[in-house]
Amino acid sequence: MIWPVKGSLSMIEVHRLPPLIGPSDFQQIAALHVALSSSRKTIGSFSHLPRTPQRAVRGMRLLSCIAVTSLLTPVRALYSEEDHVKILDDEDFREQVQQDSGVWLVEFYAPWCGHCKELAPEYKKAAKALAGVVNVAAIDCQENEGFVQEFAVTGYPAIMIFGEDKTKPTLFDGDRTAKGIVEAALTASRRVVKARLDDGTEEKKRKSRSEAKKKRKASGKSSVVQLTDATFDGMVLNSGDVWLVEFYAPWCGHCKALAPEWEQAASNLKGSVKLGALEATVNEEKTTEYGIQGFPSIKVFGPNAMGPADAQDYTGERTASAITDFALTALETMGGGYQIKELVSEDAVADICNGRSSCVISVLPHITEGGKRARDGFIKTLEDAVKLVLGKPFKFGWMQGGDQVDFENRFELTFGYPSLVAINLDRKRFVVQRGAFIAEAISEFLQDVMQGRESTVGFDELPAIKTVKPWDGEDVQLDAIEEDDDDDDIMSEILANAVKKEEL
């Protein structure tokens, strides 16, 4: 289109130019205007010129307008169907992208945008490579302004990746090269395929972790030990336990992403390996001492670690499963052990039974039945069983026989000691071990529980747990037995005296 001209190019009605003109185009127009103005001064007044030169000037004006138009029209054609890039408008987008089950890459661009022009060759290469694999499209936002608000486009070019859920696209922020775009597209495709194969399992796991995190936050309880400069050495060094300590900063995005995985790993490892966290921006002494340069940083401490020289770096994947596997391996190689706690209160029972794991509770004979030697042997059996099921969803504890009668009755542990029951508090199901009280038999029993080969019984709630005095680790006191002996002596004396009286 050629726009009206009145006398000279300075009279072009710029406000009537089509909206596709960009800032750089106006600069070129201005430069052309200056050049024409200079030519006019050289020629002088048009009135005294012969008709032929006047026609020449009018021709110059016409050519100038054509030149201006030629500057503007090509920017509409960034892509064509031959480039394997689908050109979409509002209607096409609704019908093709939102109704399709495949992955789509959509570039939102403006034809006057310099960065869009720079991206175009790489985008075309990516589209050609992805042809038949991932759909690649482009939308001119000047002609389809509604998309700018709908998808919060704040700058050009913007590439959105539409995966399984077309209402929640992700913004591509990788390298604007053909390789970078292709890698992002294939990653999105793999994610969609994996989700379909898992049949929603991963999404359920994610929701489960999220709900567990909310519950822990609401209850104020966490399996992660919060450390400070003041408490670090006393809790972590030479502790007899394996520790994994995260050094983090509250503003760090990667730390925030790690937080739920770290919490889940701590819950998985409760009772075997300890996980701690130290806020580095507040506790600068330990951050400096351990040479922390970035966040999050994870250090591993063995049971006999004495300082920075003994700390190792964790460089594995930052997922709960990877951290758990690493920690259990470290436990085997570094030493330290799983401490099986005596359950002497309601809180102690809740501590091992709450969560997704099953609690395995053994009721051991009273200390008067066999003494310290027998009890240590039973606890050693449980510790050996723990080693055989490390990494499995079980947490162990023990009670003294006769201390929790309601518990023994509720879970059918009335046939003698030692006895053992596996309880899943979430599902309100339990199953009693009927085999030998040896590590291998207990391990086999728990494997069967995990595989669903043991018949479980339902229950409503845990019975009330009495708070009792914990075992002090010492052998049984024989005072009561000695008192009984004294009583026997007194009775013997009384009987002897009675016999003498009868003889007299």
Annotated catalytic sites, by residue? Answer: 113, 116, 252, 255
CA distance 376 to 473: 9
Structure tokens at 388: 């055989």
CA distance 437 to 504: 60
Q: What is the dihedral of CA 426, 391, 261, 298, to 10 degrees?
A: 150
Q: Are 101 and 152 in contact (CB under 8 A)?
A: no
352 Cα distance to chain centroid: 24
For residue 159, the SS3 value is strand
* 287 burial via Cβ count (<10 Å: 0-12, 13-18, 19+): buried
CA distance 438 to 418: 10
Q: Can you say whether residue 200 is alpha, beta or left, with left for phi > 0 and alpha for psi between -120 and 50 degrees?
A: left
CA distance 344 to 352: 12
Q: Are 163 and 152 in contact (CB under 8 A)?
A: no
Nearest to 140 by CA among 107, 172, 169, 168: 107
Cross-strand bridge partners of residue 361: 397, 421
CA distance 125 to 258: 36
Start-to-end CA span in the chain (Å): 149
CA distance 265 to 112: 51
Structure tokens at 65: 């307008």
- CB count, 10 Å around CB of 144? 17
Q: Are 46 and 55 in contact (CB under 8 A)?
A: no
Q: What is the 3-state secondary structure (H, E, C) of 373-426?
A: HHHHHHHHHHHHHHHHCCCCCEEEEEEECCCCHHHHHHCCCCCCCCEEEEEECC
CA distance 368 to 370: 6
Q: Residue 428 to residues 110, 331, 424, 455, 461: CA-CA distances in angstroms?
A: 60, 31, 6, 13, 7
Q: Are 169 and 184 in contact (CB under 8 A)?
A: no
H helices of 411-478, where?
Answer: 439-450
